[in-house]
Chain A
């Protein structure tokens, strides 16, 4: 590639169940903050990549075009990228193409989601991701892909619900220290176990909430980044792969597509032993078991071994491999595309030593952010270095 790519600024709004701001206004707020933190104005930006998940949330088709002016995209080369829940990490990957290719020296990457407009529940939008002939007539709900996958994962490796619940306890606890968090709370494994079984084995506190919010980063080529900051965070590896929508035909206990995406990013970043070389990881955690499932796909844990790491405290903020020090989707909230971008922002702040109360104990130099989505078929991975 022509240019090494740096992240030089980041911004985000509050994440809440329902926000007054319109999608454009949320986008503007996050984008303005990212520009301010980089010391740039919109005129300094050469291209824009936007990310937002299903149009069905807003009931507004071609949302990318609608969002354009709030994202600073007017009159600039703009592209919307979209891979469902994987969108938030795919957005800066799209920005990476813009800058690494040598096309542009600066690129704004903005992700926004408002789930609250849809009634009676945002989950309704996901009904239509299932096969319309063979699956929807069975009464599908999005939760099924998680509850079925979680049950298979538990079965294959003999993992207990209580072990999985420790992830929810950790992430909601971490989120207490995040100024934007929707659901930061000190809870216990018993709280999770006693919460309403909505789609067993998934219980209410195993799940992240629906949210509104936006987040953004500014990317720059090495040449430009070095004139603007002494502390660029390098986007040194990106990877993404997708599997088919024939989800009932695959091994639900192991996300092979996440492994492929991870190795693509690791190879690019020159990482050979991920467990040793990755200092912190913002792993995609829309459900607590997903954090474990993804740690295994990302090669940060052996197959079936992530639960033990969680139980032993390895993934705590002061542990050997802090996972979701932000509080993750379970704690900070899950405005789909914005939630993945929040993870990129968190790794950026952590690697600069600017995460405040959330700062991990260890000296973190290499971090990872990952997102996942669609019918259990998307893996998007970014490796970042200080």
Chain B
């Protein structure tokens, strides 16, 4: 006997949006509001301290000679401690980008967020960070475009990734 002959129906009962609207089922709503205080870690704490100064710092592994950003205290490939701090530039190249019409919880945004992976100059090629783009029409963004960080003023900077407001295009693309 074929197995499929034993299957007469597939189980399950759907709840439709109408069912919910009509109050067909009881609903229990629960909100979980924990608070967290994260340790940024040895490497990222230094990275954030440098952002506060308006600089981007990376970490170098002398074994594979990669300059790593975001910085880490160990090289995950060589599996040994990294060796030294290296300041890199606040310019880079758009590796890829997207025009996001939705926010964190999938709700639609009035103004889209322009988001990109920016490969930073001075780091090993392909070492990108996630950040936003600004001062550009969405339709003008291109992969390979040169960009530069736009920093908050020194009094506004607080040691956070948002100390860089966004990256903007520089010169001719």
A contacts, CB < 8 Å to B: 9-10, 12-14, 16-21, 26, 29-30, 33, 36-37, 59, 116, 120-121, 123-124, 127, 131-135, 137-141, 143-144, 147-149, 151-152, 155, 179-180, 196-202, 213, 244, 246, 248-252, 349, 352, 354, 356
Asked if A138 contacts B6 (CB within 8 A), the reply is no
Question: Does B12 contact A135, Cβ atoms closer than 8 Å?
Answer: no
Q: What is the bound-complex CA distance between A79 and B70, given in angstroms? A: 35
Chain B interface residue count, Cβ-Cβ cutoff 8 angstroms: 53
Measured CB to CB, the nearest residue on chain B to A61 is B32
Given contacts A33-B7, A121-B107, A248-B130, contact A155 B99 (CB under 8 A): no
Q: Which residues of A contact B44 (CB under 8 A)?
A: 133-134
The CA-CA distance from A10 to B10 in the complex, in Å, is 12
Q: Which residue of chain A lies nearest to B108 when distances are taken between CB atoms in the complex?
A: A198
Q: Once the chains bind, are A249 and B126 in contact (CB under 8 Å)?
A: yes
Given contacts A139-B103, A148-B96, A148-B115, contact A134 B12 (CB under 8 A): no
Asked if B96 and A16 sit within 8 Å, CB to CB, the answer is no
Distance, CA A185 to CA B87, complexed state (A): 54
On chain A, the residues within 8 Å of B2 by CB distance are 352, 354
CB distance from B74 to the nearest CB of A (A): 12
> Are B117's CB and A148's CB within 8 A?
yes
Q: List, in ascending order, chain A residues with CB within 8 A of B117's CB.
A: 148, 152, 248, 252
A144-B98, A155-B143 known; A121 and B106 CB under 8 Å?
Answer: yes
Within 8 A of A (CB), among B140-173: 143, 160-162
Tell me whether B6 and A124 are in contact (CB under 8 A): no
CA distance A134 to B40 in the complex (A): 9
Interface residues of B in 53-69 (CB under 8 A from A): 68
Q: A33-B7, A132-B38, A197-B101 are in contact. Are A152 and B70 (CB under 8 A)?
A: no
- Expressed in whole angstroms, the Cα–Cα distance for A274 and B78 within the complex equals 32
Question: Is B113 among interface residues, defined by CB-CB distance under 8 A?
Answer: yes
Contacts of A252 in B (CB 8 A): 95-96, 117
With A144-B100, A248-B117 known as contacts, the answer to whether A354 contacts B128 (CB < 8 A) is no
B23 part of interface (Cβ distance < 8 Å) = no
B135 contacts the other chain (CB 8 A): no
Footprint of A on B, CB under 8 Å? 2-4, 6-7, 10-16, 20, 25, 30, 32, 36, 38, 40, 44, 48, 68, 70, 76, 95-107, 113, 115-117, 126-132, 138, 143, 160-162
Q: CA separation between A137 and B160, bound complex, in Å?
A: 9
A147 contacts which of B68, B100, B105, B128 (Cβ < 8 Å)? B100
Contact B12 A21 (CB under 8 A): yes
Given A141-B104, A244-B76, A246-B70, A151 contacting B143 (CB threshold 8 A)? yes
CA distance A30 to B48 in the complex (A): 49
Distance between B133 CB and nearest chain A CB, rounded to angstroms:
11
**Closest approach, in angstroms, between the C-beta of A152 and any C-beta of chain B?**
4
Most buried by B among A124, A148, A252, A352: A148
Which of these, A16, A36, A199, A354, contacts B12 with CB under 8 Å?
A16
| Residue pair B103, A141 in contact (C-beta under 8 Å) | yes
A148-B98 CB under 8 A given contacts A134-B129, A134-B130, A248-B117: yes
User: Are B97 and A148 interface neighbours, CB within 8 A?
Assistant: yes
Q: Which of B15, B38, B104, B113 contacts A124 (CB 8 A)?
A: B104
**Smallest CB separation, B160 vs chain A (Å):** 6
16 A-B pairs within 8 Å (CB atoms) are namely A120-B106, A123-B105, A124-B106, A133-B38, A133-B48, A139-B103, A139-B104, A139-B113, A144-B100, A155-B143, A180-B10, A198-B102, A199-B100, A246-B76, A249-B68, A249-B126
In the complex, what distance in Å separates the CA atom of A11 from the CA atom of B101? 38
CA distance A198 to B99 in the complex (A): 8
Q: Closest B residue to A34 by CB, please name it.
A: B3
**Inter-chain contact A121/B126, CB cutoff 8 Å:** no
